[in-house]
Structure 1
Amino acid sequence: MALLHPGKPIRKGLYGVAVLYGLLVRFRLWCYRCGLFPTSRLPCRVVSVGNLTVGGTGKTPIVILLTEWLQAKGERVAVLSRGYKRTSTAPHLLVSNGLRLLVGPSEAGDEPFLIARRCPKAIVAVGTDRAALGRWVLEQCPVDCMVLDDGFQHRALRRDVDLLLLDATDATGLDAMLPAGRLREPLRGLERATTVVITRADSKEDVEAIRSRLQAIRLPFEEVIEVVFKPESVVSAQTEDRRSLEWCCGKKAWLVSGIGNSNSFRRSAASLGVEVLGETVFQDHHYYCADDVRQIRTNAQAVGADIVLTTEKDAGKLPPLLAPDDPWWALRLRAEVMRGEERLRRLVLGDGGKAT
């Protein structure tokens, strides 16, 4: 069964299944609260970045931003990720040792690989059991702070800061549990968060739609942080050669994405001033094959596109499939805190927050 796309109305016909799923999730959370399921703590600070809904809230650019902040402070940082849809079956895998990349996107998973490329001095490791993975990393490398990518539901590992991301463009996703809506767990789960971060907060109307749902559970508004994702540059999918955003303006583009929120990518691409002639959309974490690239190339040439524009996450998987003269470029985004930056810095850099 396909997941509900961000921003789409809930599927009322699946309420019954959603109720059953919700009961299972509540039982699991109860087991952790009562101590029936064990939890452990690592001998270093742990900052978790996660969400209540499935995919597409912008965790990766937030993880990159926080890692950069911590490293600017002089801290040794390790990013721990599940490595969703990675091909490697190793329980623990080092993607980067902070000096160089050790594996490719297929073995690592596309998001950890991107984080390792964007944060070359950070240790990046993947594994299903984040507590065991953290201990494994500490046996090999000195680390001051661990950043958990998609860690909110990973209750087995205790954390010092729990950041919960909510996508401003997906307010309806908060209205029902999977599969009727997009919630992984009940909305009340955000009470465990140290603070809430509203991402894609470009529109005041979208932000207010999220705030109205938070008001229903009496979350103080002053604790909410707002973030937007802004285009920074375009990067060659083959050589990592960079071009300014002005270089894109006026170009005819074919869009390609396999991410959790393709609508967000489309809006970002349009903001560059490119003329979008067509688009190919895949499921999140799509692994490309030669036929995919061949078909996209044919479509782009048929409509007279100057470039094929994709996401950085997708671009990491494409180089082996591209011809030397393929004009494929990736849009690089940066996270920018529009509201609450001082509070977020204080939490992440160790000056405030609650351990959970």
Structure 2
Amino acid sequence: MPFFVSGSVPPSLGHRIVLGPLETLYSALVRTRVHAYKCGWLQTYRPGIPVISVGNLTAGGSGKTPIADHLLVTLHPNRAALLSRGYGRVSDSEPLRLRWDEGVPGTPELLGDEPCLLAQRHPDTPVIVGANRSRSARLAEVLDRPDCLVLDDGYQHLALHRDFNLLLVDAERGLGNRRLLPLGPLREPISHWERADAVLITKANLGNPEVLLHQLQGGLGVTKPVFRFDYLPERLERLDGQASRSLNSTRGMRVVPVCGIAQPEGFFRMLESSGLCLDEPLQFRDHYTYTAADVCHLQERLKTSGAEGWVMTEKDAVKLRAFPELAESGWVLTMAVKPEPAWADFWSKRLHALGLKAPNFRSSVPKTSKQENRK
């Protein structure tokens, strides 16, 4: 359950009476903190290499992980390191560094589910998790000497200087009711879009990006470049990695969706638009850690539903692969991020301005080596 008033409808009178004073206090604290960093009263660490930040103004999912993944792909041939908070991890080691191709095992419990997913998808990229991203940046500079740093969920992390600030706005939810926590989803006032160098409308194909663009540029006066990013389903890959099926071959397949993400509605719509027949979904809270009892419940549910298998997000698959009993009945919906054409030229020019090499977009595609099964 969200810890704030969700949706785009203005809060009720009861909510305003009870939560209004908390919103006022929160607003004062946020504005004071931002002003303290702006005036230099609070210290900001400036690394000797460019920092590219991905973040948002709202609480909850806005598609940051797919964007961070896309940036890491298109940053090649530059050597990047990823800095993440590591939400959901149980380890208290901080900062913690892992590079997948070095053979050191990494788990969602150690890194957090999203950093673990990104570490697997980019095995030659150092991933450093910890609440203090300035310490993480120093560690990366000493151990890995990367060309640049990618700061995941870093819009509010003002203790680390960034050279390129990307603000993400979810096309499905927009900016909600435009109220600050806890009366709304905003982490900070809408006017703080001014710190961004560009605005990305994420999941554009799942919402109404034209209306959102009008709100941003017309109603809110956003003057920074705005780009659409579509989130497209690619295929179903079996949880054990031994088979892959095209979405055309799975039309009419009856499945049970299972997910522990912040905004599951978009996931369900993608499954339906891909032609899958959905049984009643099983939903868990964001960053949920699955247990053996959960797996027993999932298996029993599959037997009674008559469905052909499970379908989960890539983020959930990172955790559910720990249960071999789900290996052949679970399927993972893989996703592709597709920016509008104008983004490629803008991104290349910004990288050049930062002293980095421009990407080859033709070759900047994540590798897939799964066996296609069209049964």
TM-score of the superposed pair, with normalisation by structure 2:
0.87
Note if contact 2:6-2:177 (Cα within 8 Å) is conserved in structure 1. Answer: no
Find the partner of 2:155 among 137, 152, 155: 152
| Shift in CA distance, 213/4, structure 1 to aligned 2, threshold 3 Å | farther
Note if contact 2:259-2:313 (Cα within 8 Å) is conserved in structure 1. Answer: yes
Find the partner of 1:208 among 195, 206, 211: 211
- Quote the RMSD (CA, aligned, Å): 2.2
Aligned to 2:369: none
Deviates further, 223-232 or 238-247: 238-247
Q: Which amino acid aligns with 2:24?
A: V
Aligned to 2:263: 261
In the alignment, the residues of structure 2 paired with residue 314 and residue 344 of structure 1 have an alpha-carbon distance, to the nearest angstrom, of 33
Note if contact 2:7-2:177 (Cα within 8 Å) is conserved in structure 1. Answer: no
Does the alignment pair 1:11 with 2:16? no
Find the partner of 2:26 among 21, 26, 30: 21
Note if contact 1:174-1:187 (Cα within 8 Å) is conserved in structure 2. Answer: no
Alignment of 1:1-356 (within 5 A): 2-4=2-4, 7=7, 9-12=9-12, 13=15, 14-71=19-76, 74-96=77-99, 98-100=101-103, 102-173=105-176, 175-202=178-205, 205-209=208-212, 211-220=214-223, 223-239=225-241, 241-323=243-325, 326-338=328-340, 340-346=342-348, 349-351=351-353
Q: Spell out, residue by residue over 1:112-157, the C-alpha distance to the aligned partner (whole angstroms, 9 max, x if none).
A: 0011111122111111111111111221112001101101100011
In the alignment, the residues of structure 2 paired with residue 58 and residue 350 of structure 1 have an alpha-carbon distance, to the nearest angstrom, of 26
| Displacement of 1:287 | 0.4
| Shift in CA distance, 339/96, structure 1 to aligned 2, threshold 3 Å | same
Note if contact 2:179-2:186 (Cα within 8 Å) is conserved in structure 1. Answer: yes
| Displacement of 1:272 | 1.4
In the alignment, the residues of structure 2 paired with residue 304 and residue 68 of structure 1 have an alpha-carbon distance, to the nearest angstrom, of 39
Q: Spell out, residue by residue over 1:275-309, the C-alpha distance to the aligned partner (whole angstroms, 9 max, x if none).
A: 00110111100000111121122222212110100
Deviates further, 22-31 or 207-216: 207-216
Percent identity between matched residues is 35
SS in 2 for 1:42: coil
SS in 1 for 2:174: helix
Note if contact 1:224-1:340 (Cα within 8 Å) is conserved in structure 2. Answer: no
In the alignment, the residues of structure 1 paired with residue 181 and residue 128 of structure 2 have an alpha-carbon distance, to the nearest angstrom, of 29
| Shift in CA distance, 350/254, structure 1 to aligned 2, threshold 3 Å | same
| Shift in CA distance, 97/288, structure 1 to aligned 2, threshold 3 Å | closer
- Segments of structure 1 that go 5 or more residues without pairing to the other structure are none
| Shift in CA distance, 325/139, structure 1 to aligned 2, threshold 3 Å | closer
Q: Spell out, residue by residue over 1:143-197, the C-alpha distance to the aligned partner (whole angstroms, 9 max, x if none).
A: 0011011011000111110000000111252511111111000001110000111
In the alignment, the residues of structure 1 paired with residue 116 and residue 78 of structure 2 have an alpha-carbon distance, to the nearest angstrom, of 21
In the alignment, the residues of structure 1 paired with residue 4 and residue 209 of structure 2 have an alpha-carbon distance, to the nearest angstrom, of 18
SS in 2 for 1:128: coil
| Displacement of 1:33 | 1.0
SS in 1 for 2:352: coil
- Segments of structure 2 that go 5 or more residues without pairing to the other structure are 356-375
Note if contact 1:76-1:143 (Cα within 8 Å) is conserved in structure 2. Answer: yes
Report the number of matched residues: 350
Q: Which amino acid aligns with 2:233?
A: P
Note if contact 2:238-2:327 (Cα within 8 Å) is conserved in structure 1. Answer: no
Q: Which amino acid aligns with 1:55?
A: G
Deviates further, 29-38 or 100-109: 100-109
SS in 2 for 1:169: coil
Q: Spell out, residue by residue over 1:233-287, the C-alpha distance to the aligned partner (whole angstroms, 9 max, x if none).
A: 2222233643322232221010011111101111111121110011011110000
| Displacement of 1:344 | 4.1
Deviates further, 317-326 or 87-96: 317-326
Q: Which amino acid aligns with 2:289?
A: Y
Q: Which amino acid aligns with 1:212?
A: Q
| Displacement of 1:339 | 5.4
Note if contact 1:168-1:207 (Cα within 8 Å) is conserved in structure 2. Answer: no
| Shift in CA distance, 324/128, structure 1 to aligned 2, threshold 3 Å | closer
Q: Spell out, residue by residue over 1:314-347, the C-alpha distance to the aligned partner (whole angstroms, 9 max, x if none).
A: 1110122241664101111111102531354235
In the alignment, the residues of structure 1 paired with residue 256 and residue 34 of structure 2 have an alpha-carbon distance, to the nearest angstrom, of 44
In the alignment, the residues of structure 2 paired with residue 337 and residue 211 of structure 1 have an alpha-carbon distance, to the nearest angstrom, of 19
Q: Which amino acid aligns with 1:311?
A: T
